[in-house]
Structure 1
Amino acid sequence: MPQSRQSQISLIDTPYYHCVSRCVRHSFLCGRDTVTGQSYEHRRGWVEARLLFLSSLFAIDIAAYAVMSNHTHVVVYVDKALAQSWSMEEVLRRWHGLYKGTLLTQKYARHDELSEGEQLSLNETVNIYRQRLYDISWFMRSLNEYIAREANKEDECTGRFWEGRFKSQALLDESAVLACMAYVDLNPIRANMATTPETSHHTSIQQRIKALLNNAKQPTTLMPFIGHHRHDMPKGIAYSLKDYCELVDCTGRCIRDDKAGHIEHHHSPILQRLGINDEQWLTLTTEFEQHFSRAVGSEHMLQQYKNNTHHQRIRGMGQAKALLKRA
């Protein structure tokens, strides 16, 4: 039986989640339909642009994404504290960037005078909007509904475009986050859509590599890598961007060359810090979704997540012992 989204999202345990949406129709999300010969490649741009636009309005940062032929992957970071710090004006500015709101919120935005009763009603509405702006379900809804409408308009048809609810996985520790990000970034290579990370179009890794090659700052649309753990760390992923890009590149070479069991003949410094050996890493980055269901992390973190979400059992305990233990 499907689990409610509320029972899968536990911000007490982690702010990181892996979300996957798949098409239900024969017609493609993107790519070329081999049956009709029609190309839908331009839709990749729709998805990517919408995804990055939403991250500018929601209190949800994007750590990784990949737009594939019939599905999308995104790794997100939910920043609840940021949303709670926003003023009423900021919440409404962001919400009105997505939806019209109500007559009352529009009246407030015009700086019209409100009665005491209207102000109380507005406060309640703003609290609802604030919660939605750090809600993964609302984020994915704002992405998928928009793409479905655009695709239906282009195809001149109606009906369901996506395969029901999106799938989400809680990423409970650093190992799970890094492995899932690499798994997402390497999706085009595993699918033979690209030969290198830098030629993997409409992916987060391509954006990050372009910034490195141009000696530019990290992409402002993506959650940054901020280096090693230290005092008063800013928000971000606690590893070097250069190390991560090198790790993704050499992992991609192993995937393409079918050389399981090693990473370019040496052990990556990131893997040493994560405590994962080469074989474990290659298994995680090629079979991530096969081994875990609604949550990914060490055995201890999975047990804690199970208790906090009141599940009787969590699939993946055995794989957590084998793949995410200290090497």
Structure 2
Amino acid sequence: MTTPRAQKVSLDITPYYHCVSRCVRHSFLCGEDQFSGKSYEHRRLWVENRILALAQVYCIDICAYAVMHNHYHLVVHINQEKAAQLTNAEVIERWSVEHQLPTIIQRYLHLPLTPTENRQCEVIIEAWRQRLWSLSWLMKELNEEIAKQANQEDHCTGHFWEGRFKSQALLDKKALLAAMTYVDLNPIRAKVSPTPETSQHTSVKKRLDSLENHQPTPAGLHSFTGYEHQDNPAGIPFRLMDYLEWVDFVGRQIREDKPGYIDAHLPAIVSRLSLNQTECLKLCTHLEQNRCGWIGPPEQLLIVKTFFNKQRIHGIYC
């Protein structure tokens, strides 16, 4: 039986999620169709640009992404606290980037209103505030725009995406690390790219390019903040260089035909998170091979099961 989205995405459990959307038609989202010979490579940039643009509007931080030939991956952090701290004017400003404002809201910004009109505007603005941290709204606006562009280019109508997006709750830092690694290494596992630095339209490639330009965090991506005791906890709880070393290490393990060898020393993040090397490698390579909605340690999965009053849940231990 399908699990309701409200149970799959619950901030009482975790703010981190891994999402996947797949194309429904035989024609590719991206890449080259071997039957017609037509290239759809340019659509990868559509998806990547749309992801990064919506990240500037929504209070949902993009930790990792990868745009593949018929699907894309996202790892996100839902920042409800950020949305709650926005002023009404800031909510309106963000919403207006992607939507036309109703007349009453335009008047609210520039003209005095009656108490009844003010209350009506407050209701509208609060609904927008809720949407700014809604994962369903982010995915809806991402997928609708790409589907519209693709249908126009293909001169057809109908569904472009395979139903609703799939989501997995990431219950702890190990699950977050595994999901981000899995996503950033997708082109390498598919043998589309040989290394992370050549993996076009991925977050790891975007971060590496940004480092070359002496900018630690690219626009639209969530920043790495390192250890939790540092002054700025609002970010991915790893050091960027540790993460890049870890991605390279795991990439060598799952690409048996890749030249090179594994250094004896592992990235500091391994010991810091008390990762079991074999278990984490298995998790990084089998993230989507099991029907699961939650990823985390046994004690966290038990909390999820108790929270939703379920006798059984589909989860992966890590």
Alpha-carbon distance in structure 1 between the residues aligned to 2:96 and 2:219: 22
Structure 1 293/263 Cα, relative in aligned 2: closer, same or farther at 3 Å? farther
1:149-228 map, 5 Å: 149-228=148-227
Comparing 96-105 with 243-252, greater Cα deviation is found at 96-105
Q: Conserved in 2, the CA contact under 8 Å of 1:267 and 1:278?
A: no
1:249-260 map, 5 Å: 249-257=248-256
User: Aligned partner of 2:5: which letter?
Assistant: R
Structure 1 equivalent of residue 85 of structure 2? 85
Alpha-carbon distance in structure 2 between the residues aligned to 1:74 and 1:21: 9
1:288 is paired with a residue whose SS is: coil
1:105-144 map, 5 Å: 105-109=105-109, 111-144=110-143
How far off is 1:134 after superposition?
A: 0.2
Alpha-carbon distance in structure 2 between the residues aligned to 1:23 and 1:309: 31
Alpha-carbon distance in structure 1 between the residues aligned to 2:22 and 2:5: 17
1:74 is paired with a residue whose SS is: strand
Gaps of 5+ in 2: none
Structure 1 113/136 Cα, relative in aligned 2: closer, same or farther at 3 Å? same
Alpha-carbon distance in structure 2 between the residues aligned to 1:176 and 1:52: 23
2:74 is paired with a residue whose SS is: strand
1:42-90 CA distance string (max 9 Å, x none): 0000000010000101000100000000001000011101101111111
Q: Conserved in 2, the CA contact under 8 Å of 1:8 and 1:309?
A: no
Alpha-carbon distance in structure 2 between the residues aligned to 1:95 and 1:216: 28
Structure 2 equivalent of residue 32 of structure 1? 32
Q: Conserved in 2, the CA contact under 8 Å of 1:18 and 1:74?
A: yes
User: Aligned partner of 1:312: which letter?
Assistant: Q
How far off is 1:311 after superposition?
A: 3.3
Alpha-carbon distance in structure 1 between the residues aligned to 2:44 and 2:280: 29
Structure 1 122/114 Cα, relative in aligned 2: closer, same or farther at 3 Å? same
Q: Conserved in 1, the CA contact under 8 Å of 2:52 and 2:219?
A: no
User: Aligned partner of 1:272: which letter?
Assistant: S
Structure 1 equivalent of residue 234 of structure 2? 235
Alpha-carbon distance in structure 1 between the residues aligned to 2:98 and 2:308: 31
Alpha-carbon distance in structure 2 between the residues aligned to 1:55 and 1:213: 22
User: Aligned partner of 1:253: which letter?
Assistant: R
Structure 1 33/256 Cα, relative in aligned 2: closer, same or farther at 3 Å? same
Comparing 133-142 with 202-211, greater Cα deviation is found at 202-211
2:20 is paired with a residue whose SS is: strand
User: Aligned partner of 2:297: which letter?
Assistant: S
Q: Conserved in 2, the CA contact under 8 Å of 1:10 and 1:305?
A: no
Structure 2 equivalent of residue 48 of structure 1? 48
Structure 1 13/258 Cα, relative in aligned 2: closer, same or farther at 3 Å? farther
How far off is 1:292 after superposition?
A: 5.6
1:67-106 map, 5 Å: 67-106=67-106
Q: Conserved in 2, the CA contact under 8 Å of 1:10 and 1:309?
A: no
Structure 2 equivalent of residue 3 of structure 1? 3
User: Aligned partner of 1:46: which letter?
Assistant: W
Q: Conserved in 2, the CA contact under 8 Å of 1:176 and 1:296?
A: yes
User: Aligned partner of 1:236: which letter?
Assistant: G
1:97 is paired with a residue whose SS is: helix
Comparing 86-95 with 65-74, greater Cα deviation is found at 86-95
How far off is 1:263 after superposition?
A: 5.0
1:206-234 CA distance string (max 9 Å, x none): 01112233433222321111111215433
Q: Conserved in 2, the CA contact under 8 Å of 1:62 and 1:77?
A: yes
Alpha-carbon distance in structure 2 between the residues aligned to 1:139 and 1:3: 20
How far off is 1:273 after superposition?
A: 1.8
Alpha-carbon distance in structure 2 between the residues aligned to 1:222 and 1:309: 31
**Taking structure 1 as the reference length, what is the TM-score of the superposition?**
0.92
Gaps of 5+ in 1: none
Alpha-carbon distance in structure 2 between the residues aligned to 1:243 and 1:122: 47
Alpha-carbon distance in structure 2 between the residues aligned to 1:264 and 1:313: 41
Structure 2 equivalent of residue 145 of structure 1? 144
Work out whether 1:286 is the aligned partner of 2:281: no
Structure 1 103/214 Cα, relative in aligned 2: closer, same or farther at 3 Å? closer
Q: Conserved in 2, the CA contact under 8 Å of 1:59 and 1:82?
A: yes
1:65 is paired with a residue whose SS is: strand
1:289 is paired with a residue whose SS is: coil
Quote the sequence identity (%): 48
Alpha-carbon distance in structure 2 between the residues aligned to 1:50 and 1:16: 20
Comparing 219-228 with 184-193, greater Cα deviation is found at 219-228
Structure 1 273/291 Cα, relative in aligned 2: closer, same or farther at 3 Å? farther
